[in-house]
Chains A and B, each alone.
Chain A
Amino acid sequence: SQTIHQWPATLVQPVGSPLSLECTVEGTSNPNLYWYRQAAGRGLQLLFYSVGIGQISSEVPQNLSASRPQDRQFILSSKKLLLSDSGFYLCAWKRQGANSPLHFGNGTRLTVT
């Protein structure tokens, strides 16, 4: 069966510090990978998605970046965190095809202080 791992579960970082969130998927190959941010009272916001190694599409022009160094590894990064980067970050994978569901990790609660 397929599983998705996302870590860390919680993170408190000072403004201006770097960020690295990691997500890995097991049990499937060539998944589509996604990073979302979830704010209270709002729908999930797509940050990045990837259809293959090294292929990253950015939806939100912020100080965040994503990389996919391996087929089942997706990393969300920032060189300098802002207060506004605080939130709940979710990684997800999906098979090709509109009717395939998103499979989410358990998220990272990021607090920038």
Chain B
Amino acid sequence: KNQVEQSPQSLIILEGKNCTLQCNYTVSPFSNLRWYKQDTGRGPVSLTIMTFSENTKSNGRYTATLDADTKQSSLHITASQLSDSASYICVVTPLGNDYKLSFGAGTTVTVRA
């Protein structure tokens, strides 16, 4: 069973609108949770990282939140742009083992003009 579940699987939004992606995980204990952006046909690129003691982290129009009690994280995209069209992947690093990361399947976001 995957230890990181993301929802929705995909979504379509209009340019300029906001959206929120969800990540639920069971990895415990963990060192950090990171969100990656993956453009089609490219490798993922890190957007944000949060340790277990952090609640929120922003990177431009991207804001990630973390609730370690409920083991949930979200990624909020504000004022979406066409360039935000990509897959967004939630990744959790287990405490004491930073080689075997747990990856979500990703949420594919399509921004339409």
Cβ–Cβ < 8 Å partners of A32 in chain B? 99
Q: Hey, what's the 0/1 contact readout for B37-66 against A, CB within 8 Å counting as 1?
A: 000011111100101000000000000000
**DSSP class of A's interface residues: helix, strand, loop or mixed?**
loop
> Interface stretch among A12-20, A65-73, A74-82, A102-110?
A102-110
A: number of interface residues (CB 8 Å): 25
B interface residue count range (under 10 / 10 to 19 / 20 to 34 / 35 or more): 20 to 34
Q: Which residues of B contact A (CB under 8 A)?
A: 2, 4, 9, 31-32, 34, 36, 41-46, 49, 51, 89, 91, 93, 95, 98-106
Instruction: Name 22 A/B residue pairs within 8 A (Cβ), A-sorted.
Output: A43-B102, A43-B104, A44-B103, A46-B99, A51-B99, A90-B44, A94-B98, A97-B98, A98-B93, A98-B98, A99-B31, A99-B32, A100-B98, A101-B46, A102-B44, A102-B46, A102-B101, A104-B44, A106-B41, A106-B42, A106-B43, A107-B43
A-B interface, 7 closest residue pairs, ranked by CB to CB distance from nearest: A104-B43, A43-B103, A98-B31, A101-B46, A98-B98, A44-B103, A43-B105
